[in-house]
Chains A and B, each alone.
Chain A
């Protein structure tokens, strides 16, 4: 398996532009998570899905952020409009739904810079 695949690896955009981050989880994993990592705030859970359904989006910082999972093999995280404070590394992770004993497999992340 190729692991969790995220694209793009790097994104530089201007303030006010729309940004879309993409994630392909490991086949057979039913849970998908979006995290944001910064030096100041560390690792923050934004949203997670189980069987393509959003379960908890309480970590989504504002209405400018939205996430979808239209099928088991694809998810997107969209920021519209983007702001400089959104600059961070965004990680996608997936896990089997097995009652909490499995760890996560993380993607390599998307480094977002908003100028």
Chain B
């Protein structure tokens, strides 16, 4: 079945550091891939997505590239801010899973000033 594996947290960085959160997936079909962000006390928000191989999703300085050959969708940001402190979820969705989205366990990011 479909699954998503992301790196365990927490990840602690200083402000302006480079961020990478690893995500790999297993899927029987051709999934769309997503990153969601959850700030304290809020629901998840869609951060970016990519719907086919080699697509790059980007938003708010975050980027992720859909790599079919390595079944990966790593999240990156060149310079993090304290306001980026949150939990980040990698997810996939495809027709073989019906309309459901499979979420990773989440990675907590702490950014220190």
Contact = CB atoms under 8 A, between A and B. Distances in A.
B45 A106 contact: yes
Nearest to B89: A43
* Most central of A33, A93, A95, A104 by chain B CB within 10 Å: A104
Nearest to A30: B99
Contacts of A93: 43-44
Nearest to B29: A100
Interface string A35-63: 00000001101001010000110000000
A97 B99 contact: yes
A104 B89 CA distance: 13
A99 B105 CA distance: 24
A50 B51 CA distance: 21
B77 interface: no
B99 A31 contact: yes
Interface residues of A, number: 24
B51 A101 contact: yes
B1 interface: no
Given A48-B100, A100-B95, A42 B43 contact: no
Contacts of A101: 32, 49, 51, 93
Interface in B76-112: 89, 93-95, 97-101, 103, 105-106
A25 interface: no
A95 B100 CA distance: 10
A56 B98 contact: yes
Nearest to B101: A104
B106 A55 contact: no
Contacts of A43: 44, 89, 103, 106
